Amino acid sequence: MSADTGVLERTRAVGAPAAIRREGELILKVDGLSVHHGSVCALDGVSLEVRKGELVALVGSNGAGKSTLLRTLSGLHTPRAGTIHYLHQDVATLKPAQRVEVGMAHVPEGRRVFAPLTVEDNLMLGAFSRRDRRDVLLGDLEEIYGLFPILREKRTLAAGTLSGGQQQMLAIGRALMGKPRLLLLDEPSMGLAPLLIAEVFNVVRRLQQQGMTILIVEQNATAALELADFGYVLEAGRVTKAGKGFALSNDEEVKKAYLGI
């Protein structure tokens, strides 16, 4: 049995549909990942894939293990079992800063900007692992300002003075300054007003259209699955369904459990 087949068999074992062929370079491959918080099992044999240029959504209820998965991918939690391969490299033993250096960027739940520093200093910190000339970095900074014009307007202000939505834009912009090949977004719409949620998802859509590879965790399952090329449903630390975003958004069990339909 090949490694890919093994992942598919484990997915079927917990009730997911048969595998759907996906094209493109394999960017991330998680196989049999298990994570414990003390005696509590947070992730139980999770397997998933993200391919180049895809937006992959991970949906599920509170406490399902979604944020734990992203924190494990970025090196903030240590798995008890399983493998994490990024661009065919085993990254499970890399420190968080090393994962940023190889092209993985995590935008954490709750934004976590450096409140006393200016907006521009926060953005430049996102490029800490790069060795490019300053003029190159300033060019990339201009691209971020083009994506988030409000950040240009407020670039000299302390990040802590921004609204929640503006801080979310800053957190995403800071991650993009690292020039990632894989962007991990954890609950980008959490705590935002409806208009700001729409604005944040418009940015995610633009990044997707520009070819950015994204793994997004979202409580707003409707919005996430509408954007997603592919999606996974996580329940009690296990993947229970997997499929194309539009298919999951029309799945009766998913609609009843997560979409409020």
| Per-residue model confidence as pLDDT tens digits over 198-243 | 888 988 999 999 999 999 998 888 889 989 999 999 999 999 999 9
Residue 7 in this model has a pLDDT that exceeds 50 = no
Residue 17 in this model has a pLDDT that exceeds 50 = no
Every domain of the chain and the residues it spans:
3-113+180-258
Query: For 14-24, what is the mean pLDDT?
Result: 59
CB 64 within 8 A of CB 222: no
Closest CA to 174 of 118, 228, 133, 218: 118
Q: Which amino acid, 28? A: L
| Residue 35, pLDDT score | 97
CA–CA dist 91, 96 (Å, integer): 10
| Residue 19, pLDDT score | 57
Q: Which two tokens stand for residue 145?
A: 């300002």
58-67 b/e (C-beta count within 10 Å ≥ 16 → b): bbbeeebbbb
| Per-residue model confidence as pLDDT tens digits over 100-146 | 999 999 999 877 899 999 999 999 999 988 888 989 999 999 999 99
Q: For residue 11, what are the CA distances in angstroms to 16, 20, 80, 236?
A: 6, 12, 19, 14
CATH code for 3-113+180-258?
Answer: 3.40.50.300
CA triplet 40, 45, 49: central angle to 5 degrees? Answer: 130
27-50 b/e (C-beta count within 10 Å ≥ 16 → b): bbbbbbbbbbeeeebbbbbbbbbb
| Residue 261, pLDDT score | 58
Q: How far apart are the two ends of the chain, measured CA to CA in Å?
A: 39
DSSP per-residue letters across 113-161: --TTSBHHHHHHHTTTT----HHHHHHHHHHHHHH-HHHHHTTTSBGGG
